[in-house]
Amino acid sequence: MSQILVVDDEIGIRELLSEILADEGHTVQLAENATKAREARARGRPDLVLLDIWMPDADGLTLLKEWASAGLLNMPVVMMSGHATIDTAVEATRIGALDFLEKPIALQKLLATVKRALGQVEPREPRSARSTLNIASLTTIRSPSLTGLRKRLAQAATATAGTVLLRGERGINPEFYARGIQQAGTPWVNVTHALGDGATDVLPQAAGGILFIEDLARLSPNQRKHLAFLVPRAARAKVRLICFSSESSQVLSESSGFESSLLAALSELTLTIPPLREHAEDIPEIAQAMLRHLVEGGICPPRQFSLDALSALQSYPWPGNLDELSAAVRTVAAMALKEEIDAEEVSSVVRVEARDQPGVSGLMFDLPLREAREAFERIYFTHHLGLEEGSISRVAEKSGLERTHLYRKLKALGISTNRKDSESS
């Protein structure tokens, strides 16, 4: 991803821009004034600079002129200000600024400007750039059903072509299994959200790799239309399609409007993913792999499950499947008071995660309204951050909040988004 330098004397704006840009997959460096910006530029050329005009030591236009005269203006610079005039914007453009953002900066305007300045397709799946937990990472599998599925996924990975349709219950986390088909070092693009825009621009990104679609049952008519357009072009571009469906072909056809020809094209190979309750003997191994993934990714301090904690996890039926287990592991890892997580800590989280929510009612009703609301919001957002592996954009979409509002909400609740952005010193 790109290296972006944010220069602004207001700490709130620096932090907000840092969080938003980091969530889009960029590496962000912060500078509080022109002096720090000069030092940052001296250390190396960023891919983009977001530069405030009004700063206490030297204004952004002065700094822009310095870089231009010294031959250092060889990266795109976007100016920012809440008080600039048209003349100021024109002057900045004349010196060499690429664009101008007026404060308060609208989120979509910011992302579109950054995309244009970097000259790249907007990242739609930040998780693809990170190490992703998947079935191939499990060292031991005990159940015959999961052992057989992993072998079939590995066999499918050796095929040079052919669409794959995975079936299973909702919450099964199909990407956990679908990644078992991905060849090492090849592209992986989640095209689900891009389907509404046609998605043909993702084919070059996925060349030689995989396009993944999260759930056919949730696609809109417009997305289905673009998917039908995409299928034959993907084959010609040597891109493999892997789809998941939480519904049968009959339901997809009768209730969701899928053409039989499209379903046939998407299911040259069909594999069924068993629900978690049908291979409960694998829960300890999966939970430990999830916890290792969080620790290695710096999402939580060093943690490990005790044997009784693993037994507690295995005894729960997990109606929400892997998504629910993942959220519970993430929550208990964040809330545990000791390095070794015991059964009592697991049980307290599982009661909160349970679908009938008995733990929530018992917990909430004893608190004042404000504290109860905050406690619920903390559980709610921690749960969804766990499901989406920390993706702010996806949690914003699920919760119905504008992303800037969500950032502020998470910060107020003391919930970390796991973005390691450091301010230059």
pLDDT digits (tens, 9 = 90+) for 23-32: 888 899 999 9
Residue 52: name the closest of 114, 20, 97, 21 by CA. Answer: 97
Q: Are residues 242 and 140 in the same domain?
A: yes
- Predicted confidence at residue 85, as pLDDT, reads 63
- Predicted confidence at residue 131, as pLDDT, reads 54
Q: Give a yes or no: residue 402 inside a domain.
A: no
Q: Are residues 13 and 78 in the same domain?
A: yes
- Predicted confidence at residue 395, as pLDDT, reads 84
Q: Are residues 143 and 270 in the same domain?
A: yes
Collapsed DSSP state (helix, strand, coil) of residue 423: strand
Q: What is the pTM of this model?
A: 0.56
Whole-number Cα distances in Å, 283 to 140, 179, 314, 348, 365:
11, 19, 6, 18, 32
Q: Give a yes or no: residue 75 inside a domain.
A: yes
Q: Give a yes or no: residue 388 inside a domain.
A: no
Q: What are phi and psi of 169, to 5 degrees?
A: -75, 160
Q: Give a yes or no: residue 12 inside a domain.
A: yes
Task: Give the whole-angstrom CA distance, residue 21 versus residue 126.
Answer: 11
Q: Are residues 23 and 87 in the same domain?
A: yes
Q: Which of 231, 259, 274 is the last residue of a domain?
A: 274
Task: Give the whole-angstrom CA distance, residue 152 versus residue 150.
Answer: 5
Q: Give a yes or no: residue 350 inside a domain.
A: no
Whole-number Cα distances in Å, 136 to 130, 179, 208, 241:
16, 8, 20, 19
Q: Are residues 141 and 165 in the same domain?
A: yes
Q: Which of 64, 90, 118 is the last residue of a domain?
A: 118
Tokens of 177: 């299994």
CB 351 within 8 A of CB 315: no
Q: Give a yes or no: residue 372 inside a domain.
A: no
- Predicted confidence at residue 359, as pLDDT, reads 38
Residue 310: name the closest of 140, 145, 134 by CA. Answer: 140
Q: Give a yes or no: residue 309 inside a domain.
A: no
CB 236 within 8 A of CB 129: no
- Predicted confidence at residue 16, as pLDDT, reads 92
Q: Give a yes or no: residue 418 inside a domain.
A: no
Token look-up 């938003």 returns: 20
Q: Are residues 185 and 146 in the same domain?
A: yes
Backbone CA torsion sign across 191, 189, 404, 46: negative
Q: Are residues 140 and 37 in the same domain?
A: no
Residue 178: name the closest of 125, 221, 223 by CA. Answer: 125
- Predicted confidence at residue 201, as pLDDT, reads 62
Q: Are residues 158 and 202 in the same domain?
A: yes
- For position 230, which CATH number holds? 3.40.50.300
Q: Are residues 79 and 166 in the same domain?
A: no
- Predicted confidence at residue 366, as pLDDT, reads 55
Q: Which of 274, 307, 323 is the last residue of a domain?
A: 274
**C-alpha angle 40/44/50, rounded to 5°?**
55
Domain around 45: 3-118
Residue 160: count of CB within 10 angstroms of its CB? 6
Tokens of 342: 């015991």
Q: Are residues 7 and 34 in the same domain?
A: yes
Q: What is the DSSP letter of 260?
A: H
Residues in the chain where the model's pLDDT stays below 50? 120-130, 352-364, 419-425
Q: How many domains does the chain have?
A: 2
| Residues in contact with 292: Cβ distance below 8 Å, sequence separation at least 6, in sequence order | none
Residue 181: name the closest of 292, 287, 268, 296 by CA. Answer: 268
Q: Are residues 157 and 45 in the same domain?
A: no
